[in-house]
A and B are shown apart, each in its own frame.
Chain A
C-alpha cells in the first residue's frame, strides 16, 4: 500500500510504487490539461512516465478555471 496526499486529501493505492502517468490514468485525468507538483516541486509533463511516486508524497494537481 502506498499513501499519497492529493490536493490536501489522503488516498491509498494498492501497488507500492507507480509513476505519475499511472496516477493520472488511475484518477481518470488522462487527456485533461493539468499541472502537477510533488512535494512542492513541479513535475514536468515530459517526466510523468519516468517519475515514480513513493509513500508519503504530497501532490497538487491543478487546472485552469474561470477567474478575473
Chain B
C-alpha cells in the first residue's frame, strides 16, 4: 500500500513522529524509537558540556542522522529571535539540514505557544530557506496564516505539552484540516494509543509525540502501541467510517428465516 506522508517534497512511510527526550538512557530511547517505526525524530539544541566526560556517548551515536530524518526543535525558546537563532545553529550542526520544528512558548507553566512570536519567527525562517513544521494553538485562523506564510506543515496541539490529556477540541482540528492545503499533524497532548487513533481518524496526516511514549511504564511497548494506533486510525480514516445514529435502522443479521 503506498499511502505515504509527504512533507516538503520528501515522503515517509511512518506517520508517527517521535521526540527523543525524557527516556531513561540512550539505549531505551533507541529501543522505543525502533518500536515506534518513526522515521522523523525531534531533537533539541543545547549548549555542549565542556570539560566534562569528553568520551561520553551522545544521542547521535545511538540515533545516527544517516538513519533518521532529524527534526531540530526550538523547545525552550520564548521569543522569535531565540527560535530563529537556535534553528540557524541547528542547520549548521546538521550540515545544511532545512526541515525544522518551530515552537515558541508563551508561558513556562503551561507551555502554551506564543503565536505572535511564532508567526514572526516563521516569516523569517521561511524567507531564510527553512522547511518549517510549526507547532501552534488549535486556532483555524492562525493555522491558515501559517500556511500562507509558507510553512510546510502545521502542528496544532491536541492539549498542552506533556499533559497527556488527549484531543480536547476535535472540532477545531476538523476545521483546520478541512481548510488546509498542507499536512496537519497533531503535536502535543496525546496520552495513549486511542488519542493517536482519534487524531488520525479526524484526518490528520500524522502525529508527533514524546511524553506519551517516554513516560509510559513500559516506553518500548507504548511505542509499539502508538505505531499501531496511528496506522489503525489512518486506515479507518481512509476506509470512511459508518455514519453515527442513535439506533440501528437495520440489524446486521437477516430479519427473515427466524425459527419462530
Indicate whether A62 sits within 8 Å of B48 (C-beta atoms), given known contacts A67-B75, A68-B20: yes
Identify the closest chain B residue to A28 (Cβ): B54
Within 8 A of B (CB), among A15-68: 27-29, 32-37, 40, 42, 44-45, 60-68
In-complex Cβ contact of B93 among A40, A64, A66 (8 A): A64
Query: A32: shortest Cβ distance to chain B, in Å?
Result: 7
In the complex, are the beta carbons of A7 and B50 less than 8 A apart? Answer: yes
Indicate whether A61 sits within 8 Å of B48 (C-beta atoms), given known contacts A35-B89, A66-B29, A68-B211: yes
In-complex Cβ contact of A44 among B46, B92, B161 (8 A): B92
Query: B255: shortest Cβ distance to chain A, in Å?
Result: 53
In the complex, are the beta carbons of A62 and B73 less than 8 A apart? Answer: no
Known pairs A33-B58, A65-B21, A67-B42; list 4 more (Cβ under 8 Å): A29-B54, A64-B45, A67-B73, A68-B20
B130 CB-CB contact with A under 8 Å = no
In-complex Cβ contact of B22 among A44, A45, A66 (8 A): A66
Query: B165: shortest Cβ distance to chain A, in Å?
Result: 16
What is the interface size of chain B, counting residues whose CB is below 8 A from a CB of the partner? 35
In the complex, are the beta carbons of A65 and B89 less than 8 A apart? Answer: no
What is the interface size of chain A, counting residues whose CB is below 8 A from a CB of the partner? 25
In the complex, are the beta carbons of A62 and B43 less than 8 A apart? Answer: no
Instruction: Give the interface of A toward B (CB within 8 A).
Output: 6-8, 27-29, 32-37, 40, 42, 44-45, 60-68
In the complex, are the beta carbons of A68 and B75 less than 8 A apart? Answer: yes
B180 CB-CB contact with A under 8 Å = no
In the complex, are the beta carbons of B21 and A37 less than 8 A apart? Answer: no
Which residues on the A side are within 8 Å of B47 (C-beta)? 7-8, 60-62
- Bound-state CA distance A20–B46 (Å) is 19
In the complex, are the beta carbons of A66 and B43 less than 8 A apart? Answer: yes
Identify the closest chain A residue to B86 (Cβ): A62
- Bound-state CA distance A38–B59 (Å) is 25
In-complex Cβ contact of A6 among B21, B45, B50, B88 (8 A): B50
Indicate whether A27 sits within 8 Å of B51 (C-beta atoms), given known contacts A35-B89, A37-B89, A68-B42: yes
In the complex, are the beta carbons of A68 and B161 less than 8 A apart? Answer: yes
In the complex, are the beta carbons of B92 and A35 less than 8 A apart? Answer: yes
Within 8 A of A (CB), among B114-142: none
